[in-house]
Amino acid sequence: MQNKFKIILLTIILIVFVYTTSSHFLNPNKEPNEKKVKTIQLNHNKVKAIQNTRASVNEISNEELENKFYDDITTSRYSDDLIIETSALLKELSSCNSLEYYDESINIDYDYSFSDHQNKYISKALDKCTKLKKDFPTIANTTNNNLLNHTTSYIAKSVNSPYANLFLKISEYESMDNKNKVSYKRELAHFLIDSQNALLILYLPRLIYSYDVNDPLELSTVLGTINEDYLLMTAFKASLLLSCNYNQGMTCSSTSTYMINNCVKNEEACGQDVKSWFDFINTPAHNRDIHQVVNYLKQF
């Protein structure tokens, strides 16, 4: 049980590492000619209740936290490999947290309301998230910072996963030279692609540009451009399209986080999946570039 908890902690460190080394805040939902959503006013009482629930989980002892995490992951949802399992769960639950702000029981919006067509898909997505949080209550309500405070005593020298070395190398990253940093990020990319998990594949764009290593996957060579904004946008869309091949296309359906975010901004997106939406919003040339990167990542 202790080893399982160690793997969870190591997994969270890796996920935080991927985010904190990214120099760009990727906005994957920014598309041309979108309708903007007006400012949403929050129901602060309900938001406070959610925050209090998370705080109560974060204040328990290490031993209690370990036991609760173990209870959450007794049954595998995605993989028998705990690194893949926990990484995917954290990504899915994080996406659910971002969708909370479309919940009309949390938001009091005096200037804007969703249409029946929008609410149809928003409600379906929120219902899925409600079930997920009930299935994994501790992971859903525990913040990364709380877990990171307890990592030192739990970091394992070896864990039962072929990806263990990736996690153990994180502490060495800052001292690596540029060549080794590039090599490490390429290893991370292989891990994400080889996982064949739709949620993990969505981390790929975070490896493209960072404060210290640019373009370790050499996408600028693939696409013949050094325009960072275009590379990031294309990398995100290609990663999303690649993810459609796994886990029954969960990241690409009409109730996926990406499509709900677009549905909120543009009602024409409601009910579409990622593939049909890309055909609608992208130019033929951009779609060709996206598919070129998808094919490249498949062989990476």
Single out the residue of 167, 159, 242 nearest to residue 200, CA to CA.
Answer: 242
- Token output for 258: 């990406």
Task: Identify the CA nearest to 207 among candidates 196, 198, 218, 222.
Answer: 218
What does the alpha-carbon distance between residue 15 and residue 2 come to, in Å, rounded to a whole number?
A: 20
pLDDT of residue 80: 79
- The confidence score (pLDDT) of residue 253 equals 97
**14-28 b/e with 16+ CB inside 10 Å = b?**
bbbbbeebbeeebeb
Residue corresponding to tokens 């959450």: 72
pLDDT at 119: 92
* The model's pTM: 0.78
Token output for 163 = 């990806």
The rounded distance, in Å, linking the Cα atoms of 79 and 85 is: 5
pLDDT of residue 245: 97
Please give the pLDDT value at position 126.
Answer: 93
Q: What are the domain boundaries of the chain?
A: 2-25+38-148, 176-298
User: Tens digit of pLDDT per residue, the chain (300 long)?
Assistant: 555 555 555 565 566 566 555 544 344 444 444 444 444 444 444 444 444 455 555 555 556 655 666 666 667 788 877 778 878 888 898 889 888 778 766 555 534 578 999 999 999 999 999 999 888 887 777 654 444 344 333 333 445 667 777 777 777 888 999 999 999 999 999 989 999 999 999 989 888 777 777 789 999 999 999 998 999 999 999 999 999 999 999 999 999 999 999 999 999 999 999 999 999 999 999 999 999 999 999 998
pLDDT at 13: 57
What per-residue confidence (pLDDT) applies to 42? 42
Neighbours of 207 (CB within 10 A): 22
| DSSP notation for the chain | -HHHHHHHHHHHHHHHHHHHTBSS---TT--TTPPPPPPPPB-HHHHHHHHHHHHHHHTS-HHHHHHHHHHHTSS-SS-SSHHHHHHHHHHHHHHHHHHGGG-TTTB--SS----HHHHHHHHHHHHHHHHHHHHSHHHHH--HHHHHTT-TTT--S--SSTTHHHHHTGGGGGGS-HHHHHHHHHHHHHHHHHTT-HHHHTTGGGGTBBSS-B-TT-HHHHHT---HHHHHHHHHHHHHHHHTTSGGGTTTSTTSHHHHHHHHH-GGGTT--HHHHHHHHS-HHHHHHHHHHHHHHHT-
